[in-house]
């Protein structure tokens, strides 16, 4: 079996599905085992690489930015803001009188904007019905595989500040 095929007027399928049994190429057991073994090594190496990368990963430090005043939104209310840059939409939810959470608004599936579903107290992505927990941003159901990145908040003098991003994908 050659790796490269010379340019030819006969179509490729004619080569692959030859009329003559003598020209048929079957994968033999040794080739298949070799393929499996090498692919497994490749997979293992890739996984180790990802593991190493995530172990060595540090959350990038972002500048502290004001988000809202404490009394700006009512309980169950929502405010959208941009953090850390103007192109990163985030959503702030006041879940209780003195309980605020903020997440990136980009769904981890295909980056649709998630919104707060007040009746069931969760974040919903309307594009493909992905649902995220309001307490930690974990996926409840739907196609997303990763939790929403969380915006760490800090209260200071009646003001909420975003201080960093947590759980951003590597």
Partner 1 sequence: MFGMEFYVDPSRCIGCQSCLKACEECDTHRGVSMINFDFVDRQETIATAAYVCWHCDNPTCAQVCPADAIKKYEDGIVGSSLKPRCIACSNCVLACPFGIPKLVPQYEQMMKCDMCYDRTSAGKRPMCATVCPSQALAYVKPENIAATRREKPVNTFWFGNQKITTKVYMMAPAETTEIAIDVADYVWEGDHELVPQAF
User: What is the contact surface with partner 1 in residues (CB under 8 A)?
Assistant: 17, 19-22, 24
| Least separation in angstroms between CB 15 and partner 1 | 12
| Least separation in angstroms between CB 10 and partner 1 | 11
| Least separation in angstroms between CB 18 and partner 1 | 8
8 Å CB contact between 75 and 96: yes
Nearer to partner 1 by Cβ, of 24 and 154: the residue is 24
Nearer to partner 1 by Cβ, of 27 and 63: the residue is 27
| Least separation in angstroms between CB 14 and partner 1 | 9
8 Å CB contact between 1 and 7: no
| Least separation in angstroms between CB 9 and partner 1 | 15
Nearer to partner 1 by Cβ, of 4 and 13: the residue is 13
Quick one: tokens of 3? 């790796």
Any idea what DSSP says for residue 21?
G
Quick one: tokens of 60? 């990038």
Quick one: tokens of 104? 């990136």
Instruction: Say how far apart CA 55 and CA 42 lie, in whole Å.
Output: 20
Nearer to partner 1 by Cβ, of 10 and 145: the residue is 10
Backbone angles phi, psi at 58, to 5 degrees: -120, 140
Instruction: Say how far apart CA 92 and CA 138 lie, in whole Å.
Output: 16
Any idea what DSSP says for residue 28?
P
Nearer to partner 1 by Cβ, of 4 and 20: the residue is 20
Distance of CA 48 to the CA centre of its chain: 19
């Amino acid at each position: 079996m050659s790796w490269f095929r010379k340019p030819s007027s006969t179509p490729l399928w004619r080569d692959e599905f030859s009329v003559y049994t003598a020209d048929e190429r079957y994968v033999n057991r040794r080739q298949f085992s070799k393929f499996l073994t090498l692919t497994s090594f490749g997979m293992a190496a890739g996984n180790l690489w990802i593991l190493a990368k995530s172990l060595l990963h540090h959350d990038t430090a972002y500048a502290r930015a004001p988000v809202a005043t404490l009394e700006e939104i009512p309980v169950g209310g929502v405010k959208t803001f941009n953090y850390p840059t103007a192109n990163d939409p985030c959503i702030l939810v006041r879940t209780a009188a003195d309980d605020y959470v903020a997440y990136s608004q980009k769904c981890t599936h295909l980056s649709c904007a998630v919104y707060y579903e007040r009746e069931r107290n969760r974040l919903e992505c309307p594009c493909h019905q992905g649902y995220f927990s309001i307490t930690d941003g974990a996926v409840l159901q739907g196609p997303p595989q990763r939790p929403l990145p969380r915006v760490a908040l800090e209260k200071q003098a009646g003001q909420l500040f975003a201080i960093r991003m947590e759980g951003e994908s590597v």
